[in-house]
């Protein structure tokens, strides 16, 4: 999700701004004593502020000390699922019921660089494949995703196998029930951590530390989820729940009776196809699709509301994302589709309080829908399946 834990690189920028305000502006001394007292209470590190030169040296030390706290977060806190802004381009990420939603085999890749204003923030990438099983009235999907936080300090990888069965209620209304099972692997690069006993006020960071490396810096866990998708002639609604078994991702296994594992991930999405103009052999369909995606995990929530428009070859989109506590981003999209190939580029314009420091977020998605053969076109026409998921193809 986009309300994710700040990593070292985010705090590096934020602490840098705080320290500059404390140490490099006018009326310096009035800021010294509060930080001095706080540092002694928190870290038992006596600081002496005598002049501007000493203050600037101490700023570097305080900055390093403040950055120690988030380094321990991966041990005790659980991660949050990333969500692509181009959720329609990777529907298996949020709902396994989308497996086989395209009549022909489909595959794709996606890359997300969150908050590009920070040097090493979150990098998320995924690869997926899905295919309809017409004789079984079902679909299967395979989804692989990697997430890199803090320049490789904390990494997570997931792989899911997904299955969805479609129940045709009548000629235009159908229900699809999806399930998924897979593995979650996450790891911590211990060698990139810096601990208090490695920081010397005079000599900087020493190599050795008395901290004991934990037995676990890497874990692989089972993860399961489910989803439901309802489609009509020109609309769709979907709901999913992930991490039904709430896997315990902690690396330090303490307070076993207090943890609840990885929080459930909920998503609710919907949309419609308006003003549809069917395409021909040379151009695709033209349409407008207003849509939304709501996602929640633990105390964090987000809502994307906007619209996707296609002119046949080119397509565009715009969304507004809120976390309900504040406005988060405005999302702009542009892309093109030619034959079996589809390419999309989006940019999240940060409009929250992090706008000046975090910068924006960009995504690149590429997919192939192997639906151009005459045999598949005839099969699809005979199947008479609902055609309300234009933007997902």
Task: Tell me the CB-side half-sphere exposure of residue 326, using CA atoms within 13 A.
Answer: 10
Does residue 352 lie within any of the structural domains?
Answer: yes
Q: Once rounded to an integer, what is the mean pLDDT over residues 224-232? A: 95
What's the chain's length in residues? 393
pLDDT of 7 strictly over 70: no
What is the Cα gyration radius of the chain?
25
pLDDT at 138: 93
pLDDT for 6 equals 38
The pLDDT confidence band at residue 9, using thresholds 50, 70 and 90, is very low
Residue pLDDT, tens place only, 233-285: 889 999 999 999 998 877 766 555 555 688 999 999 999 988 777 766 666 67
Q: Which residue has the higher pLDDT, 12 or 308?
A: 308
95 compared with 21, residue with greater pLDDT: 95
85 domain-assigned: yes
Q: What is the mean pLDDT of residues 127-153?
A: 90
Does pLDDT of 47 surpass 50? no
d(CA 335, CA 329): 20
Q: How confident is the model at residue 376 (pLDDT cuts 50, 70, 90)?
A: low
Residue 36 in this model has a pLDDT that exceeds 60: no
- In which band, very low, low, confident or very high, does the pLDDT at 212 lie, cut at 50, 70 and 90? confident
- Say how far apart CA 105 and CA 379 lie, in whole Å: 13
User: Does the structure show a pLDDT above 80 at 67?
Assistant: no
Task: Give the number of other Cβ atoms within 10 Å of residue 219's Cβ.
Answer: 17
Q: Which of 273-282 are b and which e, b meaning 16 or more Cβ less than 10 Å from the residue's Cβ?
A: beebeeeeee
pLDDT of 237 reads 95
Q: Are residues 66 and 116 in the same domain?
A: no
Q: CA 252, 256, 259, 260 torsion: positive or negative?
A: positive
Asked whether residue 330 carries a pLDDT value surpassing 80, the answer given is yes
Q: What percent of the chain has pLDDT over 70?
A: 69
| Domain's final residue, options 71, 93, 109 | 71
In this model, does residue 365 exceed pLDDT 90? yes
Q: Does residue 135 share a domain with residue 34?
A: no
Whether 156 is in a domain gets the answer yes
For residue 112, is it within any domain? yes
Whether 279 is covered by a domain: the verdict is yes
Once rounded to an integer, what is the mean pLDDT over residues 70-91?
70
Measured distance CA(152)–CA(278) in Å, rounded = 46
CB 142 within 8 A of CB 125: no
Does one domain contain both 23 and 98?
no
* CATH code for the domain of 371: 2.40.160.40
Q: Which H helix or E strand runs over 158?
A: strand 154-168
**59-63, 250-254, 346-350: segment of lowest average pLDDT:** 59-63
Residue range(s) defining the domain that contains residue 164: 80-392
Same domain, 374 and 228: yes
Do residues 364 and 114 touch, judged by C-beta distance below 8 A?
A: no
User: What pLDDT, on a 0 to 100 scale, did the predictor assign at position 1?
Assistant: 60
Kindly indicate the confidence band of residue 10, based on its pLDDT and cuts at 50, 70 and 90.
Answer: very low
Query: At residue 119, what are phi and psi to the nearest 5 degrees?
Result: -65, -45
Q: How many structural domains compose the chain?
A: 2
Tell me whether residue 1 is in a domain: no
Does residue 341 carry a pLDDT above 60? yes
Lowest mean pLDDT among 12-21, 354-363, 366-375: 12-21
pLDDT value for 331: 97
Same domain, 36 and 152: no
Domain match, 65 and 158 both: no
Is residue 13 over pLDDT 50? no
Decide which of 149 and 224 is more confident.
Answer: 224
pLDDT band at 8 (very low <50, low <70, confident <90, very high): very low
Choice between 197 and 219, residue whose per-residue pLDDT is larger: 219
pLDDT of residue 256: 56
User: Would you say residue 45 has pLDDT above 50?
Assistant: no
| The last residue of a domain, from among 47, 71, 95 | 71
Considering the domain architecture, whether residues 248 and 280 belong to the same structural domain is answered as: yes
Q: Tell me the average pLDDT across 84-98.
A: 93
Residues 225 and 340 in one domain: yes
> pLDDT-based confidence at 153, cuts 50/70/90?
confident
50 and 150 together in one domain: no
Query: Does residue 132 sit in the same domain as residue 261?
Result: yes
pLDDT of residue 383: 55
Note whether residue 276 is domain-resident: yes
Same domain, 42 and 132: no
| Same domain flag for 139 and 260 | yes
Residue 19's pLDDT is 44
The verdict on residue 2 lying in a domain is no
Region of poorest pLDDT, from 98-102, 325-329, 356-360, 369-373: 369-373
Residue 28 has pLDDT above 50, yes or no: no
Letter string b/e over residues 77-101, b meaning 16 or more CB atoms within 10 A of that residue's CB: ebbbbbbbbbbbbbbbbbbbbbbbb
Cα of 304 vs its chain's centroid, Å: 13
- Residue 374 CA to residue 380 CA, distance in Å, equals 10
pLDDT at 32: 39
Distance of CA 19 to the CA centre of its chain: 30
Q: What is the mean pLDDT of residues 357-379?
A: 79
Examine the fold and report which residue of 71, 97, 119 is the final residue of a domain before the chain moves on: 71
Question: What are the backbone dihedrals phi and psi of residue 32, each rounded to the nearest 5 degrees, phi first?
Answer: -70, -50
């Amino acid at each position: 999700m986009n309300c994710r834990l700040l990593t070292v690189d985010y705090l590096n920028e934020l602490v840098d701004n705080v320290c500059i305000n404390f140490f490099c502006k006018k009326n310096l001394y009035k800021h010294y004593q509060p930080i001095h007292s706080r540092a002694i209470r928190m870290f038992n590190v006596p600081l002496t502020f005598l002049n501007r030169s000493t203050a600037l040296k101490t700023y570097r030390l305080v900055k390093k000390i403040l950055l120690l706290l988030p380094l321990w977060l991966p041990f005790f806190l659980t991660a949050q699922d990333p969500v692509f802004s181009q959720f329609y381009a990777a529907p298996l990420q949020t709902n396994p019921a989308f497996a086989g939603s395209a009549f022909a085999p489909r595959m794709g890749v996606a890359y997300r660089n969150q908050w590009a204003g920070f040097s090493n923030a979150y990098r998320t990438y995924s690869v997926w494949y899905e295919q309809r099983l017409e004789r079984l009235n079902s679909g299967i999907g395979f989804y692989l995703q990697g997430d890199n936080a803090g320049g490789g300090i904390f990494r997570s990888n997931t792989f899911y196998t997904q299955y969805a069965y479609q129940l045709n209620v009548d000629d235009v209304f159908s229900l699809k029930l999806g399930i998924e099972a897979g593995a979650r692997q996450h790891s911590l690069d211990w060698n990139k951590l810096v601990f208090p006993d490695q920081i010397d006020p005079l000599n900087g960071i020493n190599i050795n530390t008395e901290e004991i490396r934990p037995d676990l810096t890497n874990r692989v866990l089972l993860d399961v989820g489910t989803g439901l998708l309802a489609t009509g002639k020109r609309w769709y609604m979907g709901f999913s729940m992930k991490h039904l078994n709430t896997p315990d991702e902690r690396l330090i296994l303490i307070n076993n009776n207090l943890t609840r594992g990885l929080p459930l991930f909920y998503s609710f999405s919907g949309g419609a196809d308006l003003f549809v103009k069917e395409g021909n052999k040379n151009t695709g369909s033209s349409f407008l699709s207003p849509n939304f995606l709501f996602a929640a995990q633990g105390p964090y929530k987000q809502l994307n509301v906007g619209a996707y428009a296609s002119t046949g070859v080119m397509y565009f989109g715009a969304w507004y994302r809120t976390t309900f506590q504040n406005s988060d981003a405005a999302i702009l999209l542009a892309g093109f589709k030619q034959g079996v190939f589809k390419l999309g580029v989006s940019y999240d314009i940060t409009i929250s309080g992090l706008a000046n420091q975090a910068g924006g977020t960009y995504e690149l998605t590429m997919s192939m829908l192997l639906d151009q053969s005459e045999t598949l076109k005839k099969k699809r026409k005979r199947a008479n399946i609902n055609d309300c998921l234009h933007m997902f193809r």
